[in-house]
Amino acid sequence: MTSTNALENPLELASDDIRAAALFGAAEAARKARGDHSVLVVCPAAWTSKITLLEQAGYKNAITWFIKMVG
């Protein structure tokens, strides 16, 4: 069974669903067409499926942020 969204499971990238990779590829093509040389991608630390997709595209972790919700 193919998921409705390849990134809906934050723990595992659906191997039989290339839609997330295709969408990401289109974003990369748009970035390149604009002449941008860097991008910032915000990704929750526990969203390993998105991290996998980013790593497959050559992205590396640059910074880790911490936040404390109060109230």
Per-residue pLDDT of the chain (71 residues; tens, 9 = 90+): 444 565 667 777 665 567 777 888 898 899 999 999 888 888 877 788 888 888 888 888 888 888 888 98
User: What is the span of the domain harbouring residue 24?
Assistant: 1-71
Using CA of residue 41, residue 45, residue 47, residue 52, what is the dihedral sign? positive
pTM (two decimals): 0.62
Separation between Cα atoms, residue 21 and residue 15, nearest integer Å: 10
Distance in angstroms (rounded) separating the CA atoms of residues 42 and 52:
14
pLDDT of residue 33: 96
- CA 68 to chain centroid: 23
Q: How many domains does the chain have?
A: 1
Q: Which pLDDT belongs to residue 29?
A: 93
Q: What local confidence, expressed as pLDDT, does residue 49 receive?
A: 82
